[in-house]
Amino acid sequence: MATEIGREIKMLSNLIIREFQASMAKLDLDRVTAMNIWILGYLYNNRGRIIYQKDIEKEFNVARSTVAGLVKLMEQKGFIGRYDVETDARLKSLKLTEKGEQVYTAAHMKTEEIEQRLHSGISGDELEAFIKTVEKMKKSLESKCEKGEIYD
């Protein structure tokens, strides 16, 4: 029987998300999604740069409409703010609010715990091979998406 890579990845993803959601509920942050934390982390780690919505689309390989909805909800929750850009009035930059930074800091600690559990029992060589393999898979799928072949 052939290995169903997509199925295995989806099952692992479901387990990670379930664990994350349980951790967030313990912090009384059960309305915070994993994607929210990833975006907050991206903004946190790029505080010295001007970040636009298109940067998030590219970083997480997510459609513009999806990011627009996420940004809108995160702004409503008070996690991020949209600010005018001096050089172009049509553009809005995204920045963490104080609340967003607090949520990210608390969630980041829990995320690190989950990462440690994911790494347990896996050697450095195994982890390196896994990451290289996943990168190859992503590249293969991304090239088909970019060429429009995925819709054929």
Is residue 86 pLDDT above 90, yes or no? no
**Widest CA span in the chain:** 58
Instruction: Give the bridge partners for 51, in sequence order.
Output: 94
CB-CB contact of 129 with 121 (8 Å): no
Give dist(CA 107, CA 122) in Å, integer: 24
Is residue 115 pLDDT above 60, yes or no? yes
Residue 15: which pLDDT band, with cuts at 50, 70 and 90? very high
Q: How does the average pLDDT of the chain come out, rounded?
A: 88
Give dist(CA 91, CA 58) in Å, integer: 17
**What pLDDT, on a 0 to 100 scale, did the predictor assign at position 149?**
54
Give dist(CA 73, CA 54) in Å, integer: 17
Half-sphere exposure of 120 (CA within 13 A, CB side): 6
Beta strands in 4-131 (DSSP E): 80-85, 88-96
Is the Cα dihedral 119, 131, 146, 90 positive or negative?
positive
**What pLDDT, on a 0 to 100 scale, did the predictor assign at position 1?**
47
Is residue 73 pLDDT above 60, yes or no? yes
**What pLDDT, on a 0 to 100 scale, did the predictor assign at position 10?**
93
pLDDT mean over 91-103: 93
What are 21's two structure tokens? 């959601």
